[in-house]
Amino acid sequence: MTAHTIPVADFDYVVFGATGDLALRKLMPALAARDRDGQLPASARILAVARSSMDTAAYRAMLAEKVKEFHNATLAAAFMERIQYIAVDAKTGTGMDTLKTTLESRSDCVRVYYLAVAPELFVSITEQLAKAGLNTPNARIVLEKPIGHDAASAKEINDAVATAFSEAQTYRIDHYLGKETVQNLFVLRFGNALFEPLMNRQYVDHVQITVAEKVGLEGRHAYYDGAGAFRDMVQNHLMQLVCLTAMEPPQSFNADAIRDEKLKVLRALAPTPPEQCVRGQYAGYVSELGKPSNTETYAALKLEIQNWRWAGVPFYLRTGKSMPEKVSEIVIQFRNVPHPILPAEAGAVPANRLVMRLQPNEGVRLGLTVKEPGPGGLRVLPVDLDMSFAESFGVAQPEAYERLLMDVVRGNQTLFMRRDEVDAAWAWASPIAGRFTEKPPEPYFAQSWGPSAASELMTRDGRKWVQA
C-alpha cells in the first residue's frame, strides 16, 4: 500500500532560526520528504533565515547531510535549488529589507513564517515582519512551543502576535498532534460504535499517559535547563493528549468544533495539589550541564477532570529523560468485570486495557481475556489484539512535522492550538510550575523509570504504571 499524497498550493516557506537544531533536524528534512513524495509545487521556495553571516551555498552544504536520506542525487539537487539563505537579525531587523524584496517577487502565493526560535524572540520577529509590511493577508505565522514560560509571558506573546496577524493566520504548533496514532484517537473514539460508549467513569478505572525519552540533554543545555520537563512537555504535549483522550464528541470534524471541546477539558481541570506532583532529575544531569541545577528532567502528576464524563477517574501523566526506552503511549485501563462468575480454578481475570502507542512502532493494542485452548478445564489467559500501522498498512508513517507543515499551507488549523487553549492550559499549569522550583528534584538513576515518588503516586491509589 502506498500513502496518498495530495499536492498543496504554491508557497514560500520562511524558516526563522534556520541554523538551529529544530530546523536542521526536523523542519528541513520534513520538507525534503514532502518534496521527495511529489507534494511540493515546482515553484515552491524555502527561505532559510538566521542571524549567522553566510551565503546560500554554505547553508546548503550545512543542510546536505541532514536531508540526504530522502533523495537520490537528482532529487537532492532539485530540493537544494528551492532553498535560499537570508541573514536577518531578529532583534534589530537588519536584513529584513532583503527578505521583503525576495518575498515581493512572488506576492500571490501562500507565505508561511515559521518561528523555530526561542520564545523570547517571537515578539521581536512579529514586530519586524509587521514593520516591513510582510504581514499580508496571504501570510501565516507558526509559533513553536512553548508559548512563553507562564501565563503572563504567554499573554505578552499572543498579544504581540495578534497586533500583526489574525487568529486565523496564527498556527501554534505541537508536533505530537501530527502523529498518526494521535489522529487515530479521533477515528477510534468517534468512528467506532465500540469504544465511545465505554470512555467514561462507569467503565474506565484510570488513564495513563507516558512520554519517555531514552536520551539526556543531547546538546539542548541552554534551552532545557531554562524550561525543565514540566514546561517542555507537560504543559503542552501531554495536556494536548489529555484533551484528545477526554474530550466530548465535537459537532463535526471542523477545526473550531474540535478545539471548542478541547478547551472544555482544560477548563474542567481541577487544581493539582503538591502531593500529586513529582519531579526528578537523573543522575549525571549536573555533570552534563556543567553547573549546579534545580531543573527537573522528570515530572509525574495525577490529574482530575471535573465533569460528568470523567469525575472520579484519575489521569496519571509522566515524562522524563534518560528513561529505559523511548516510548509515548496512552493507556486506557478499564474497570474489572462487575461480578465474577468464572470458577476460581480458571485463574484471575485481568481488566481490559486499550493502549495507543504514539512512538515508536505506532499502533493500537487491546487486551482481552480468553479461554486457554485445550481440554484441561476452564482456564483463562490475557491476549492482545495488536495492530501495528507499519505491519497492517505496509507503509512508513510520515513524520509529524511533514503533515503539520503542509496543513499550514492548506490553511487547516485542526491540529493547532487556539489562543484560548493556550490561556487555559497556562491557567492550570502556572501554579504547578511555580511550586516546582520550591524544592529540589528527587534523584533517579539514568535509564530507569524515574524516582520512587512516581511509583508511590500510583501505589497509594492501589495502581501501578504500565511499563512499555
Give catalytic residue positions.
237
Residue given cell 538551529 in the structure block = 20
**By CB neighbour count within 10 A (0-12 exposed, 13-18 middle, 19+ buried), where does 294 fall?**
middle
Query: What grid cell was written down for 414?
Result: 485542526
Distance between CA atoms of residues 256 and 242, nearest Å: 18
From the list 182, 237, 219, 233, the residue with the least C-alpha distance to 22 is 219
What lies within 8 Å, CB to CB, of 57 at 6+ separation is none
Distance between CA atoms of residues 152 and 407, nearest Å: 29
From the list 297, 295, 238, the residue with the least C-alpha distance to 265 is 238
Query: What grid cell was written down for 391?
Result: 505491519
Distance between CA atoms of residues 384 and 409, nearest Å: 40
Measured in whole angstroms, the distance separating CA 168 from the mean position of its chain's CA atoms is: 21
> Which residues sit opposite 444 in a β-bridge?
282
Q: Return the HEC string of 275-298.
A: HHEEEEEECCHHHHHCCCCCCCCE
Q: Report how far apart, in Å, the C-alpha atoms of 322 and of each of 145, 295, 368 are.
A: 22, 14, 32
**323 near 213, Cβ under 8 Å?**
yes
Residue given cell 515553484 in the structure block = 43
Query: What grid cell was written down for 14?
Result: 520562511
Q: Report how far apart, in Å, the C-alpha atoms of 252 and of each of 174, 178, 186, 422 are.
A: 22, 19, 11, 22
DSSP 346: G
